[in-house]
Structure formats: structure tokens, C-alpha cells
Structure 1
Amino acid sequence: MTPREPRRLAVDGELTVLTAAAQKERLIGALQTSSGLRVDLSGVDEVDTAGLQVLLLARREADRLNVPFELGPVRGGVAAVLAMAGLDAAEEE
């Protein structure tokens, strides 16, 4: 049996206090129904501390479930914010 590919989930627009609750539900729900998650952040143009908290929570939940969790691709400014928070992400090419 081969491991299944992580599910891809795209996040677009802003990942801020205005969208954090809804994105949290999407990410946690996707983690609970998949064998892993790759969060595509290439459409995110703004992230704040609430958005970072959601991503950190999702990573912690993936660890708890023992499933892969990946971030990327991301664009330049968002990549810099994620790096400052210790979240590794593949940059968009």
C-alpha cells in the first residue's frame, strides 16, 4: 500500500482577524478528514497575527493526528512573515 498524497487546500485573499475563524474551521476540518494537508497560500496577500495563530494551530493539530502538514507555495511578503514566525513554506517560483 502506498501513502496517499496530502490534500491540497487553497487559501486566498487575507488571512487576518477578519477571516481567521472561518479558515481555522476549514483547516482543522480538512486535517481531520485527510491523510495530510498542503496549504496553498499563493493567493494570500495579507497575514496578521491571528492568521499566524491559525496556521500554528493547524500545524499542532497535524502533529497530534500524526499527519503531514505543509505550507506553500507562498508569495514574497507572506513568506517573510511566516519565516519570522518559524513556519517553513515553499516560496512561489
Structure 2
Amino acid sequence: MAIEVKQQKKGVIHLAIQDEMTIYSVLEHKGQLSNYLKSAKEMHIDLAQVTEIDSAGLQLLLFLKQEAVSRGIALSLTQHSEAVVEVLELLNLSKHFGDPIVISADWKSS
């Protein structure tokens, strides 16, 4: 479980979440991501390496979106992994976040 800073300059931060976003890791993720919300004006979160996401991980994404809106921060989720897309589509939440989702041809069809 890791959050990697890919780029940070002038209030714009690009982060990447790796491994899982589950009940076992979400509290640590929340602490780290909340710290970045304090100073960012724009935040991009790369979800390409998220291998698993459960309701706790989804709650974290919803919390981040709500906090970003209330603080006037532009938040975008990018490079959604297959696991993330499955959950967002299952719960019809893709439009809530408003970020384009690219479906990879390499994903298994179910």
C-alpha cells in the first residue's frame, strides 16, 4: 500500500495510489490524502495500480470529492484500474466524479 507523489508544483499535485483501497488500508490513505488537500489547489489521483477496492475505498473517494468541492480544489481521478471501474459502474457513480473513464482492451470480459 503506497501513495506516490508523481509531481508537485505550484499547488498542483499528481498522486498515484498503489495496491488496494480496502478497509485494511483506507485509514492510512485518508490521512495521507487529507494532508495533500490542505495545500493543493488542483489534485490528480492516478488509480491505475489499484488492485482491489471495497466500500471503504469507495467512501474514501467520495470523501475526497466532497472535501475538494468544499475547499474549491479541482480533483480528478485518472487512469482508473479495472477494479475501480467495476465498482463505479456497478453503483452507477461514474458520473458523480465526472472524470472520463478509459476501458482497456486488455481487461478480461466478464
Higher relative contact order (CA 8 A, sep 6+): 1
Local SS of the residue matching 1:71? strand
Q: Using a 3 Å threshold, how does the CA distance of structure 1 residues 39 and 73 change in structure 2: closer, same or farther? A: same
| Aligned residue number for residue 38 of structure 1 | 44
| Aligned residue number for residue 70 of structure 1 | 76
Question: What is the aligned-residue RMSD (CA, Å)?
Answer: 1.9
The alignment-based identity, stated in percent, is 27
Aligned residues: 90
Unaligned runs of 5+ in 1: none
Larger radius of gyration: 2
Q: TM-score, normalised by structure 1?
A: 0.84
| Aligned residue number for residue 81 of structure 1 | 87
Unaligned runs of 5+ in 2: 1-9, 105-110
Shift of 1:82: 2.2
